[in-house]
Chain A
Amino acid sequence: QSVLTQPPSASGTPGQRVSISCSGSSSNIGSNDVYWYQQLPGTAPKLLIYRNNQRPSGVPDRFSGSKSGTSASLAISGLRSEDEADYYCAGWDDSLSGYVFGTGTKVTVL
């Protein structure tokens, strides 16, 4: 059972901005960094954002992350058809002494 809560779905038309929330608690997001992953259909996940708002090399600046208190969010600007995927937040949980993933959000490009 995931301890990080995300909306099950989000959608937008090409060019629009889409935002995905990730809600946690003081033992995870509230005290540790947040990471975001993109999983295209039938493939392994890919790291999109690390340390709340940092992009690995090769990730377009259309993807941005932020964190405030016990919540975090991922924004995709200039939405493209290739952004259609599942997105997961993740982070370390001090109470569980382990990593936790969000419930996942399916982004659809209309």
Chain B
Amino acid sequence: QVQLVESGGGLVKPGGSLRLSCAVSGFSFSDYYMNWIRQAPGKGLEWVSYISSSGRTIYYAASVKGRFTISRDNAKNSLYLQMNTLRAEDTAVYYCASSYGDEIFASWGQGTLVTVSS
């Protein structure tokens, strides 16, 4: 069955960096476009970034543009999010979510917690 598993979260100091990964199984990863979505503790959902199936088209939320980089490796069925210059307000659970055709964010991982604190 479809499975998305995030990893790489943890505690990092302000200004630090972290790389999140999302391992995918159960579907043809290279046919799907992918997103990162985050949720601060006790808050709502915030879309972070999108990458097309080929990786050629990428979008970012204004709040992370210039600091975060999304990428994918279709040979490894994996999605990544490189997060630099982290701020306290980046503290959240980060979810990877797959989209196919009209079904946007159809499948989600369980999330990985990123805490930015000194």
Nearest CB in chain A: distance from B105 CB, A: 6
A44-B95 contact, Cβ under 8 Å, with A56-B106, A98-B61, A99-B35: yes
Say whether chain B's binding surface is mostly helix, strand, loop, or mixed.
strand
Decide yes or no whether A88 CB sits under 8 A from chain B. Answer: yes
| B102 x A100 contact (CB < 8 A) | no
| A50 x B44 contact (CB < 8 A) | no
Which of the residues B102, B104, B109 comes within 8 Å of A90, measured between beta carbons?
Answer: B104
Nearest CB in chain A: distance from B84 CB, A: 19
| B45 x A44 contact (CB < 8 A) | no
Q: Across the interface, which residues of A come within 8 angstroms of B61, CB to CB?
A: 96, 98
- Identify 8 new A-B residue pairs, CB closer than 8 A, beyond the known A2-B44, A39-B45: A35-B104, A44-B95, A45-B95, A45-B108, A47-B106, A90-B47, A99-B50, A101-B45
Binding site for A on B (CB under 8 A): 35, 44-47, 50, 59-62, 95, 102-111
